[in-house]
Structure 1
């Protein structure tokens, strides 16, 4: 429900801000008493300061204690008190500081159109004293207007800066959320895509051997059961990373589970040969996961496009770079091919870590993926 036009919304008005405003009001009230009394010591031409003058200065100052809770009410009270003070002929004094703060608050916390109308009305009421006292006459419009124009401009500028900062933060949060959704989508794609491809291949083997070699068909069904269970477990870990923050997390897959991945592929009929060059060592978590996902997605593509063609996985550990190469000896593919979601996600994952990926058909048949990831 929209807030009434005479007050601001209560959102963001907390006890701390009310305490700060109360302290400001108290300080201005103290300054108002001393300053107004001191202003009465000026040369003649103004009405002598008395209890009414001091009372009006105190009322204007204390009304600022709720300035962010009820900006328009505060501006109305301060304007009436200040205009009455000036209309009675008292000397200019600290009461104008309260008026300045009230105009700033309206410009800072209310919509621009409403704040402009309220400030314009306050200016007209404030200048009434120029019609009562001959004093400065129309020349007094200039300094009188400044007490509205300056705080209004400052308040509006502060509000626009705050809104721009809020929009920038919201845009940044939206960007981070989109990046996180993309990361989760890539993880789910890698897990589900690999699992379903392996299950599909094993299911075809089981159907083909069901009547002629039931014992081999049963082995394929056992492999389907194990592959689906492992894929579900890994999917649960990935989803748990999204739901939990700061909780104990199950370890993500990495090179420690590469032998299990090769074993699962072998059960589908794809012979995978693993070669390691250089001194094998522990990798940073993000790189370890990226290397595993590159191998997983590449072998999944072997299942999808090369059938049971043999594949080789080469890991190279260099001082500052780790390389991953996956090549198969499948049928020859066109030199120009369309990059799917798997390869695109793999490229984004590796590029985000400062690495590079090259992928394409090999002369004479087969397909090759080569990824290089820096360790620094």
Structure 2
């Protein structure tokens, strides 16, 4: 038996540059660019006609100023290296390094371009950490700016426009951007979790419907044949032996169906494990699915069990989409099972009508017209769910003249006949 080779998994799309580089590197690039630029422009380069009061040419002449600037560089480098692992400590080192750099230049305010690195780190914290931590980080940045503004006010320096309010606005904007990213990530995770829960629920309902439709019918046949065998075992041994052979065959078919279903569940678990390990899932063996082609066999089995089933086909029989074909068969199977177990009728009629744009399935009997007290109603619920998933109409209830009627209308999408034939080949 040959198996088809596993298809390779598609290569993941490359991440954008802003996500490929770690946040600490972006923070370091912004801080070092703002710190090195004045050193190169006002100290290293030859003197020019213009100069800067904030960065005087002799500002770093003293060994103390050079040592402070070196300490600031080291602190910021350490902060950038551990920003992802020790966010709070790294953020504190970044603010301290920024303050020390201003002390080295004997400045009374933080340059806005250099404070941009603090905004980048704050945005990362707000995007990846709890809100209380990000608010504390934003408060630390705003407190540092307020401290500079207070020191200048105490010193009586009122020259120029204070940059702290503008820088405080950038802090707020950075926190809002990061917090929005945090909320978007949390909302996406919630949607994924909800989708996974809905998928699990849908799979459980599907398995419940399949088990109910497959097992309930077989158990009904087994119970009917076993009861008949018990009644005639002494008077008609040959008939009793035939009934028990039918019980054996139905039991084996039920056991085989349960094994196939458990195998499919185990295969799904293995596929999920392979997918999580980056390997392509092994192709599952293909098995023919049940469909309306099995209705005649179902009718023969039920008739042999003692309840005569008449099947009437109307319209032009043609291939149907697999989901519609399976749903129609399960509706017939469950309806016949209900007639055998609950109606008390000795016969039921099945009518399948192929129309141009829909498939009509009706199952009727002349029994008591309702379920027994032991009927859980899961069969009707399962049929109603199947029809609803296919956007059809489902009705079930007592007939006016006695008995019970189950009717379902399943819409057939246009242009599916050719696709169904191709799938059948």
Q: Which TM class, normalised by the smaller chain length?
A: 0.7 to 0.9
1:8 corresponds in structure 2 to none
Give the counterpart of 1:94 among 113, 118, 121. 113
CA distance in 2, matches of 1:331, 1:140: 88
Partner of 1:83: 99
Q: Does 1:175 align with 2:220?
A: no
Paired residue for 2:221, among 189, 195, 198? 198
Aligned pair partner of 1:296 in 320, 333, 341: 333
1:159 aligns with 2:182: yes
String of CA shifts for 1:137-184, please: whole Å, max 9, x gaps. 995542343343221222122212221221122112212221221111
Seen in structure 2, the aligned counterparts of structure 1 residues 115 and 332 have a Cα distance that, compared at 3 Å, is closer
Alignment CA distance shift 1:329-1:22 (3 Å): same
Matches within 5 A, 1:246-261: 247-261=284-298
1:340 aligns with 2:377: yes
Instruction: Give the Cα–Cα distance (whole angstroms) in 1 for the partners of residues 70 and 369 of structure 2.
Output: 96
Establish whether residue 74 from structure 1 lines up as the match of residue 90 from structure 2: yes
Aligned to 2:234: 211
| 1:94 aligned counterpart, secondary structure | helix
Measure, in 1, the Cα distance between the counterparts of 2:148 and 2:399: 91
Determine the structure 2 residue equivalent to 1:233: 256
- For the pair 1:280 / 2:333, whether they are aligned, the reply is no
Q: Does 1:222 align with 2:230?
A: no
Q: 2:131 aligns with which of 91, 100, 112?
A: 112
What is the match of residue 72 of structure 2?
A: 56
- Aligned residues of 2:314 and 2:353 also touching (Cα < 8 A): yes
Secondary structure in 2 matching 1:244? helix
Post-superposition Cα deviations, 1:5-47, rounded to whole Å, max 9, x if no partner, equal: xxxxxxxxxxx96743365256435633553347758754324
Evaluate the alpha carbon distance shift between residue 62 and residue 159 of structure 1 in structure 2; reply closer, same or farther with a 3 A threshold: same
More divergent stretch after superposition (48-57 vs 306-315): 48-57
Alignment root-mean-square deviation, CA: 3.0
Q: What secondary structure, in the 3-state scheme, does the structure 1 residue paired with 2:349 have?
A: strand
Q: CA deviation at 1:131?
A: 4.8
Equivalent residue in structure 2 for 1:121, among 140, 143, 152: 140
Assess if the C-alpha contact under 8 Å between 2:225 and 2:305 holds in 1: yes
User: Which stretch of structure 1 is more off in the superposition, 73-82 or 257-266?
Assistant: 257-266
Structure 2 contact 127–182 (Cα < 8 Å) conserved: yes
Is the Cα–Cα contact under 8 Å of residues 202 and 268 in structure 1 kept in the other structure? Answer: yes
Which region of structure 1 is more displaced relative to structure 2, 47-56 or 162-171?
Answer: 47-56
Provide the C-alpha distance between the structure 2 equivalents of 1:85 and 1:34, rounded to a whole number of angstroms: 11
Task: Map 1:42-53; keep pairs closer than 5 Å.
Answer: 44-48=52-56, 50=60, 53=69
Aligned pairs for 1:293-332 (under 5 A) are 293-307=330-344, 309-331=346-368
Structure 1 residues 136 and 234: CA distance shift in structure 2, 3 A? farther
**Correspondence for 1:266:** 303
Which residue of 1 is the match for residue 210 of structure 2?
187
Deviation at 1:93, TM superposition (A): 5.2
**Which residue of 1 is the match for residue 272 of structure 2?**
none
State the alpha-carbon separation in 1 of the partners of residues 148 and 353 from structure 2.
87
| 5+ residue gaps, structure 2 | 1-17, 43-47, 61-65, 269-282, 414-425
Q: What is the TM-score with the length of structure 2 in the denominator?
A: 0.75
Q: Give how far 1:235 is off.
A: 2.5
- Distance change (3 Å), C-alpha of 1:93 and 1:62: farther
Query: Secondary structure, in 3 states, of the residue corresponding to 2:84?
Result: coil
1:102 Cα deviation from its structure 2 partner: 1.4
In 1: Cα distance, 2:383 partner to 2:285 partner: 27
**Is the 2:38–2:55 Cα contact (8 Å) retained in structure 1?**
no
Q: Which runs of 5+ in 1 are unaligned?
A: 1-15
Q: Matched residue of 2:22: which SS?
A: helix
Counterpart secondary structure, 1:326 = strand
Q: Distance in 1 between matches of 2:265 and 2:103?
A: 66
Give the length in aligned residue pairs: 358
Q: Deviation of residue 92 (structure 1)?
A: 1.5
Change (3 A) 1:333 1:157: closer
